[in-house]
Structure 1
Amino acid sequence: MSQLVTLKIDGMTCASCVARVEKSLLKVEGVDAASVNLATEKAQVRVGDLENVDTYIPHLIKAIEKAGFEASRLECLKKTQKPSFFDLHGPYAVLLSILLSLPLVLPMVLMPFGWHVMLPASVQFLLATPVQFILGSRFYIAGFHGLRSGSGNMDLLVAVGTTAAYGLSIYEWYLSGWGNPHQIYFESSAVVISLVMLGKWLEMRAKKETTAAISALQALWPNEAKVLAQQSLENLDYRNYQNLAIDQVIPGDWVLVLPGERIPVDGVILLGSSEVDESMLTGETQLIAKEPAALVTGGSLNGSGRLVIQAQGVGEESTLAKMIRMVEDAQAEKAPIQRLVDQVSSWFVPTVIVIAILNFLVTYFFFETFETSLIRSVAILVIACPCALGLATPVAIMAGTGVAAKSGILIKDAQALELAHRLTTIAFDKTGTLTIGHPQLMTYKNVSLDSLDDLILLSLAMGLQVGSEHPLAKAIIDYGEQQSVTPQVFRDVAIQSGKGIQGICEDGPYSEQSLSLLSHHAWLEIIKLSNPILAQQYQQEAEIELSKGHSVSWLVLNQQTALGMFAFGDQLKPGVKEVIARLKAMQIQTVMISGDNRIVAEMIAKQVGIDRVFSQVLPADKAQLIKQLKSEHVEAYVAMVGDGVNDAP
């Protein structure tokens, strides 16, 4: 049975680097297939049936190093490393190269204005030499490795072209007796290196932006997990645990998760209850109540309760790891134009060099002097250096994605740019894309029997929620602050997991009495036991808001009497209806794919005019739905519009 090995590769800068690594890997005996991802700097290698794949990895690494790159086995979910302060591929090297090249270009810039100045040859030599051989050393190294692996690359062309211009300048300077000859070309070699360095840096920056989704997903993962030594629910000692690295946790381990911590593994709750923020998975801001036997996902945020979880999915088998792989696989797919560039670049470099040599031979033996023939051949090499394949493509992509980013559009890959004009269907996430993404207090209703003032009702609800990080708590407090309402003071405030919050009021009309802010479901469960008829009335009272897709909470006195009803909802973003209308006018089908419940999803879709709705959908299912939409028509092109990392796949 074949096995898949993932390696981390450093030093790749362009499409020809990818082709060179893939070519080197495929030469290794036992390799069935190899795919290199420039964006994530990873290589996935499928090898044959081996007893011990670990002994085979050094052969793969050696093949990559022979091609001129550094390689290592990828650690499980390894965090992104920060770059060093100064390196020959970074912005400071590019800036220094430009600053050294500017004085060489300045005479040509001033010439149209009638200012004829010329730097002494010695000064030009001092400015160009560090650019050529220090800042530009990367091109010599990469070009040499390319030659050694039997493939010409853009780095080789840059090295040959700029060295020819630099060498010709030294030759002309020597012929003039080390004076100040008119025809020297130090500025050509320095400027070409600076331009190509700038292009490669822009490409590298664009590449880092494409990995932002992966970095955001990886940031959700804790470095360690609290693994309990005891695996018995009787007299469980919560203090007896050890902090293990996340890749040392195995299925079956009991993991302790304290309030406010991120859950480190996929698993099932054995003990405890809490509310869990799964927005990284579903995109929805509402906290999900979790009880024993409920499933939890690694990377989600635990709320107020303490949980004991039995690990099920760990490492590469976890939901978060699968999401990361889905993003990487999507980024690894090459755009049609990129595949064409790969094919052309493999022939472009040797073709240019052959043309330059032929030009020199023909012009020298049949038409011109040695010096003129050399100058023309050098011109061919220099002109070909910052070609469209190496510079214009990344600059164009950067310009396009930059303009889109200013409008709030983050483009995942180059293929999306190429195929956008063919779109037949656009699928939208709901929360944060069509809506603002933050619950708001839409309305509240006073249902007390003792003529309680509306603002006092609001101040009581605010007082209970002071200090809470729950999204609904923030909604109440924000609304109250807009109304200039001062919250009442409470003590002994405690969160009732999956139900709401409770505390003792210290002042006002309900001083020293217990007040609770409960979910609609929790309040109905309580009141049904004592007064089923009243419970039915409360249900009818809330039905209007529930039918609008709002969530309902109740302010309750002493767990017996309802004082007020609070309805929360999410508002549409400005201009959403107009955008959907314009898409329909362009004959583009609109679809909404949401992790929210059916009632809320259909209500939002009806408001904005969405054609089709899919609700209660997880990220892995979103990707499958996109494939389903693409398969409905032969010429269907589908786009997915989302606002968060949960939409990245």
Structure 2
Amino acid sequence: MWCTSCALAIEGVLTRLPGVVDASVHYPTATVWVKGAPNAVELTALAPVVKRLGYRLSELEAVENAHERLELESRYLTLRLLVGAVFGMWTMLASLLIYVGALPNASIEQVVAWISGAFSMPVVLYSGLPFYRAGWRTLLAKRPGMDVLVSLGVISAVIVSIGLLWRGSAEVYFDTAVMLIVLLLAGRLVETLCRHRGLKALDALALPNVMISAWQKGVWVLLPVNEVAEGMRIKLTPGELVALDGILDAPGWIDTASLTGESLPRHFNAGQKVYAGYRYLGATPLVMQVTAEVGKRRLDRLRDEMRRYQAQKGELQKLADRFAAWLSPLALLLSLVTLFGALLFGVGWENALVRALSVLVVACPCAVGLAVPLASLAGSGQAMQQGIVLRDPAALETLARIRSVVLDKTGTLTTGSHAVLHWQARDGIDENTLQHKLTSAVSGSEHPLAQALARWSGGQDQQRSPLKIGVEEFPGEGRRVRLTSGEWLMVGSASWLSRQHIIVPSQAEDAALSFASQVMLADESGWLATLYLTDQPVDDAEPSVKHLLASGYLVAMISGDRQGAVSWLGERVGLPREACYAQRSPEAKARLLQALPSPTLFVGDGLNDTLSLAAADVGIAPLSASEPAREGASAQLMTPGISGVVKLLSIAKRTRRIMGQNLFFSALYNTLALGVVVIMAIPPLIAVIAMAISSLSVTLNTARLAWSELDQ
């Protein structure tokens, strides 16, 4: 496929097949999504139908192949545009000399007219070829689009011009044909480059091709990850990214944030399952047995689901397709009515053909084509000034109609790191004494909560950390430290301290802080202190959420974290408890998101959010987002916090108003121009100038968006 017209042609044929309920062709990934009876959607049933149109249908294309295909299409379009620009320049120059009367006599005008035609031939025969091919295929599929209009306009302009030259007239229309081809080729090239960039979201879900240490024939050997099969045993080194799904042979600390969104690493026991994308945080190598090889991992399934979401079209695209479906037949009908009507009223063949050509040129919806992209570009420029990067300017259309705003928790509404929220200690222990003892207990620990305690107590300063003669670790529970002074300290969970025969007083159990992570400290005298830690909300979380609620949006928070932490954060930022959803997997997040009133907006920062970013109508990644989340989102915030979401929604509403006005102006132009050109004779050049004036009105109206102030 070379353009979206090809995709529409295939889609039109497939939707008419018996047993097929719905079909959607996604051009960037060359993917067709078909819904229907099992025998109707098999490759053997669909491929012959598509082949008759001149295309080839095969198994699902790899993302790497889609990149290569779009690279080729970009070079293909660039070459044709270059030919069109170089030769078209001379065509336009020759035509201009004739139009302004700069030539001394009719004989020289005739020669220059032939030169104009000669220079237009490479443009018409080479640069315009894709339009003719796509137009023919869409006609075969009974889904004619703009390519049909462009093809007929170009061919008619050339035929009429050659006829005029043959009769000795210098009033030719080769420049009309050239202008149509070059302008539309430029638009197709920009569209292809934008679609190419959109594929990066799928790239980000692919783990790197690394070498894996695998147990084979009694020895550990390094194998490419693609060669590691299900059932093999592999070794994980400290800090290594888990590349395959598997079951652990021994316990260890695992960072699961990439897929679950949990703010803290988890301690996995032997026999528990881990997934590709997790990261091993232990201090010694760990062995696991592979349960899913490359292509069958949970991450691979997420990637396939993301492609499925992309292949289905949104309402705006469907409206655009319906618009194209009736515009081209109407323009063709009016052109034929003009031709035969002029002949009936005694107009000669030459003038009748020129009138029909003018109708085709006027009917080409150039202003309609500019109405939305220009406003999107102006809106994205204003968003950039507010610290928001729009990777897909077309998303502004959907953002203006958003009904549901869904926020991730960790890293989106929160800073992503824990801090001490509250502490209480036994009588006689002040803050300085507590911090000194805490420094001794937690320094050197790799546990995230211990590191947060070290930051609060100053334990990251090695000079403040007393010498220890012994450290005994209890993974997932606590640690015992013996100092050179002979003193010992214990830090860990309340249940672990109880098993160590430490009496925890009831006043240390604070029910109001049950949402927070609780850590206790004890010494030789017993319980010493209880500290409560939590992931703190970003500074602008509360005012932003309240502004969204006041604006009428349905606002929800969906997280993989535990219920207590999610409920507490929801209360802090102003969300009701029923709008806070906890312990949701990536798949459950996407399903819940789709159940909310649409269009939906999702804001998330992790690898576990990529499926939700694809399932939502629009996805936004905050400043601290991971690479996969940034690539999967339509927009990215370049400033801390989520206030950029509020600003972007305001910009989108104003942009959509401009889009509506532009569409009204362009529709008014088409209606009036078509009416005038049917009634009276208008040269094709005047029709082209009228198109330019219409485009200029759209451009000036769009400029108001950049001049106006952002609503506060």
TM-score of the pair, normalised by structure 1: 0.71
Aligned length, in residue pairs: 597
Aligned-pair CA distance for 1:273: 3.0
* 1:332 maps to amino acid: A
Task: Decide which of 184, 192, 203 is 1:204's aligned counterpart.
Answer: 192
Q: Where do 5+ consecutive residues of structure 1 fail to align?
A: 1-10, 231-236, 631-635
Distance 1:28-1:589 versus aligned 2 partners, 3 A rule: closer
Q: Give the whole-Å Cα distance in 2 for the aligned partners of 1:436 and 1:572.
A: 6
Give the letter aligned to residue 153 of structure 2: G
Q: Find the counterpart in structure 2 of residue 273 from structure 1.
A: 251
> Whole-Å Cα distance in 1 between the matches of residues 131 and 468 of structure 2?
68
Distance (Å, rounded) in 1 between the aligned partners of 2:43 and 2:518: 54
Aligned residue runs from structure 1 range 342-491, under 5 A: 342-387=321-366, 392-393=371-372, 408=388, 417-418=397-398, 421=401, 423=403, 425-439=404-418, 464=444
**Which residue in the other structure is 2:277 paired with?**
299
Q: CA deviation at 1:590?
A: 2.9
Q: Given that residues 211 and 223 in structure 2 are in contact (C-alpha distance below 8 angstroms), is that contact kept between their aligned partners in structure 1?
A: no
C-alpha separation between the residues in 2 aligned to 1:591 and 1:374?
61
Other structure's SS at 2:411 match:
coil
| Corresponding position of 1:189 | 177
- Aligned pairs for 1:590-601 (under 5 A) are 590-601=555-566
Q: For 1:138, give the aligned amino acid.
A: P
CA distance in 1, matches of 2:536, 2:442: 21
Q: Deviation digits for residues 163-187 of structure 1, max 9, x if unmatched? A: 333444455556558xxx4x34344
Q: Find the aligned partners of 1:146 and 1:371 in 2 and give their Cα distance.
A: 29
Q: Map of 1:121-136 to 2, 5 A cutoff? A: 128-136=120-128
Instruction: For residue 621 of structure 1, report the CA deviation from its aligned partner.
Output: 1.7
Q: d(CA) in 2 for partners of 1:604 and 1:272? A: 35
**Alignment partner, residue 692 of structure 2:** none
Q: Deviations over 1:401-442 (max 9, x none)?
A: 67667664869997994585472x433221232223345677
Q: Report deviation, 1:445.
A: 10
Partner of 1:437, secondary structure, is strand
User: What residue identity is the alignment partner of 1:87?
Assistant: S
**Greater CA drift, 186-195 or 443-452:** 443-452
Distance in structure 2 (CA, Å) of the matches to 1:334 and 1:43: 11
Is 1:584 matched with 2:584? no
2:356 is paired with a residue of what secondary structure?
A: helix
1:32-51 alignment to 2 at 5 Å?
Answer: 34-38=23-27, 40-45=29-34
CA distance in 1, matches of 2:570, 2:153: 59
Deviation of 1:368 after TM superposition, in Å, equals 3.4
Give the conservation status (yes or no) of the 8 Å contact 2:415–2:535: yes
Local SS of the residue matching 1:355: helix
Q: In structure 2, do the counterparts of structure 1 residues 378 and 454 end up closer, same or farther at CA, with 3 Å as the change threshold?
A: farther
Report the equivalent of 1:145: 137
Decide whether the 8 Å contact of 1:596 with 1:616 is kept in 2.
yes
Partner Cα separation in structure 2 for residue 462 and residue 120 of structure 1: 88
- Structure 2 distance, partners of 1:464, 1:626, is 42
Aligned match of 1:520: 492
Aligned residue identity for 1:43: V
Q: Does 1:549 align with 2:516?
A: yes
Alpha-carbon spacing, 1:480–1:520, altered in 2? closer, same or farther (3 Å): closer
Change (3 A) 1:586 1:150: closer
Q: Pick closer, same or farther for the CA change 1:402–1:24 going to 2, 3 Å.
A: farther
- Residue-by-residue CA offset, 1:15-56 (whole Å, 9 max, x unaligned): x43342134446779878644334543113468767xx9xx7
Could you tell me which residue of structure 1 aligns to residue 697 of structure 2?
none
Partner of 1:572: 537
Q: CA deviation at 1:613?
A: 1.7
How many Å apart are 1:243 and its aligned residue?
3.9
The residue aligned with 1:64 is 50
Letter in 1 for 2:147: D
- How high is the TM-score relative to the length of structure 2? 0.66
Check the 8 A contact 2:33/2:312 in 1, yes or no. no
Cα deviations by residue, 1:101-123 (Å, 9 ceiling, x for unpaired): 57777899999xx9989996577
Mapping 1:84-163, distance limit 5 Å: 84=71, 87-88=74-75, 128-163=120-155
Whole-Å Cα distance in 2 between the matches of residues 471 and 47 of structure 1? Answer: 50
Partner of residue 319, structure 2? 340
Q: Secondary structure at the match of 1:74?
A: coil
1:348 deviation in Å?
A: 3.0
User: Is the partner of 1:570 in helix, strand or coil?
Assistant: strand
Contact 1:278 1:301 in 2 (8 A): yes
In structure 2, the residue matched to 1:7 is: none
1:609-640 Cα offsets, whole Å, 9 max, x none, are 1123221221222233335555xxxxx87544
Corresponding letter in the other structure for 2:584: V
Bigger helix share: 2
Instruction: Report SS of the residue matched to 2:154.
Output: helix
Change in Cα spacing, 1:244 to 1:141, as seen in structure 2 (3 Å) is same
- Describe the SS at the equivalent of 2:570: helix
Counterpart in 1 of 2:623? none
Please say if residues 518 and 530 of structure 2, whose CA atoms lie closer than 8 Å, have aligned partners that are also in contact.
no
> Which structure ranks higher in relative contact order (CA pairs < 8 Å, sequence separation ≥ 6)?
2
Q: Alignment RMSD, CA only?
A: 5.5
C-alpha deviations, 1:74-103, integer Å up to 9, x for none? 267767635537835656765775676577
Amino acid at match of 1:340: L
- Bigger Cα displacement from structure 2, 281-290 vs 202-211: 202-211
- Give the AA of the match of 1:190: V
Amino acid at match of 1:20: A
Mean Cα deviation higher: 117-126 or 486-495: 486-495
Q: Which residue of 2 aligns with 1:633?
A: none
- Please say if 1:214 is aligned against 2:238: no
Quote the Cα distance in structure 1 between the aligned partners of 2:457 and 2:115: 70
Alignment-mate amino acid for residue 220 of structure 2? R
Deviation at 1:239, TM superposition (A): 0.4
1:530/1:157 CA distance change after superposition, 3 Å: same
Q: Could you tell me whether the CA contact under 8 Å between 1:504 and 1:513 is conserved in 2?
A: no
**8 Å contact 1:143–1:155 — kept in the other structure?**
yes
Distance 1:589 1:140, change over 3 A: closer
Q: CA deviation at 1:144?
A: 3.3
Report the counterpart of residue 4 of structure 1 in structure 2: none
Matched residue, 2:6: 17
Quick check: 1:341–1:389 contact (8 Å CA) kept in 2?
A: no
1:622 aligns with 2:589: yes
1:164 correspondence with 2:164: no
Deviation, structure 1 residue 290? 1.8
Is there any run of 5+ residues in structure 2 with no aligned partner, and where? 104-108, 616-712
User: Structure 1 residues 228, 585: CA separation in 2 closer, same or farther (over 3 Å shift)?
Assistant: same
CA distance in structure 2 between the aligned counterparts of 1:512 and 1:80, rounded to whole angstroms: 66
Checking the alignment, whether the CA contact within 8 Å between 2:165 and 2:172 is kept in structure 1 is yes
Q: Could you tell me which amino acid in structure 2 is paired with residue 272 of structure 1?
A: A
Structure 1 Cα separation of the partners of residues 159 and 352 of structure 2 = 14
Deviation at 1:361, TM superposition (A): 2.9
1: CA distance between counterparts of 2:117 and 2:422? 75
What's the secondary structure of 1:239's corresponding residue?
strand
Structure 1's 152 and 628: CA in aligned 2 closer, same or farther, altered over 3 A?
closer
Q: How far, CA to CA, are the matches of 2:141 and 2:595 in structure 1?
A: 43
Counterparts in 2 of 1:222-371, with a 5 A limit?
Answer: 228-229=215-216, 237=218, 239=220, 242-243=223-224, 245=226, 249-250=229-230, 252-269=231-248, 271-304=249-282, 306-312=285-291, 318-371=297-350
8 A contact 1:464–1:490 mirrored in 2? no
